Copies of this chain bind each other. A is one copy, B any other.
């Protein structure tokens, strides 16, 4: 179990998740001495399938390739291996993203036709939810990767979000055809030629949240920064909002009156609700929970993984990808 607040955040997250999904079973990987008392405290024993004791920890400063080679007795490695062998259906981790990606990729392999997996997440917009990828799996991308992201995003949007003909946008600094760096120019040219997708064209940062397109494609460097900037702005806005209601006696009174409204708002905008980024393009379900996740966030990530399992999303994606990459 990884993440800044593990194992508490993971077990408490599992507890929250279990209340909504009483049929789900957990396999816990980590330091058994620490995990077991928490599981007992939360009365999760009945929903616990197994507890696998591990004694190596992949910290955030460990290179992915070293994690793969030297940390075979870590919770991350064991959990991925467990999904790969079919003992469990999905892995959810708050640990080192690069390590999670490399170990998953080597053990599970990518879906036929896809050269690199991508991290994808749903985003709230003014219309319905959209999907954006890559959010950090591929810091340096080739054009072929961006095409793969577009195709995976399209399949996800269709299969998971139920969009019949998803519009694909490529994130850029301007919507005009001449804008952007060499990479987005080349990628746009190839995306236009790709007959399996409906390419809208370039979209800008502010278009992500308007719902202009159903899938936003970008390289992992830009996508990660856009995602985290969005989180930061959302947190800042919430803080400003709370502070405005503390300004004076009148605003404190208004706060009491508005509390039910604000609670329903925060339920919609809370980043924890959008926690749980999916690794798309793998022969297995891997969900990355935010390193800073609390129990609520980890519970959301578990829900993402559970929904993907329950609805055979990955099987559908693999099937659809087979048709495209035949």
Which residues of A does B touch, CB under 8 Å? 60-61, 63, 124-126, 136, 139-140, 171-174, 176-182, 204-210, 218, 220-222, 224-237, 239-241, 244-245, 247, 250-251, 253-255, 257-258, 260-262, 264-265, 268-269
Chain B min CB distance to A223 (Å): 9
Q: Does the CB pair A236–B181 fall under 8 Å?
A: no
User: Are the C-beta atoms of B205 and A173 separated by less than 8 Å?
Assistant: no
Per a CB cutoff under 8 Å, which of B136, B235, B240, B264 touches A247?
Answer: B264
| CA gap between A63 and B173 in the complex, in Å | 15
Query: Is there an interface contact between A234 and B231, defined as CB atoms closer than 8 Å?
Result: no
Q: What residues on B are CB-neighbors of A239 within 8 Å?
A: 126
CB of A207 to closest CB in B, whole Å: 7
Query: A232 and B205 in contact (CB under 8 A), knowing A222-B221, A225-B171?
Result: yes
Residue pair B205, A228 in contact (C-beta under 8 Å) = yes
Q: Identify the closest chain B residue to A184 (Cβ).
A: B221
Bound-complex Cα distance A176 to B279 (A): 22
**Contact A205–B227 (Cβ < 8 Å):** yes
> Are the CB atoms of B209 and A232 closer together than 8 Å?
yes
Are the CB atoms of A245 and B225 closer together than 8 Å? Answer: no
Task: For the complex, give the distance between the alpha carbons of A262 and B258 in Å.
Answer: 11
A-B contact pairs, 29 of them (CB 8 A): A60-B176, A61-B176, A126-B236, A136-B173, A139-B179, A140-B182, A173-B220, A173-B224, A205-B224, A205-B225, A205-B229, A206-B229, A207-B232, A208-B232, A209-B235, A209-B236, A225-B226, A229-B229, A230-B232, A240-B269, A241-B241, A244-B261, A244-B262, A244-B268, A253-B257, A254-B254, A254-B260, A255-B261, A257-B258
A179 to B98, CA, bound (A): 9
* B residues in contact with A208, CB < 8 Å: 229, 232
Q: Indicate if the CB atoms of A236 and B60 lie closer than 8 Å.
A: no
- Enumerate chain B residues within 8 angstroms of A140, measured Cβ to Cβ: 181-182
Which has the most chain B C-beta neighbours within 10 Å: A206, A207, A220? A206
In the complex, A204 Cα to B63 Cα: how many Å?
Answer: 19
Bound: A65/B181 CA distance, A? 16
* Chain B residues within an 8 Å CB radius of A241: 241, 265
Nearest CB in chain B to that of A253: its residue = B257
Q: Contact check: which of B61, B226, B258 meets A226 at CB < 8 Å?
A: B226
Nearest Cβ on chain B to A125's Cβ, whole angstroms: 7
Given contacts A206-B232, A208-B229, A233-B233, 8 further A-B contacts (CB under 8 A): A139-B180, A173-B220, A173-B225, A205-B224, A209-B236, A244-B262, A250-B260, A251-B260
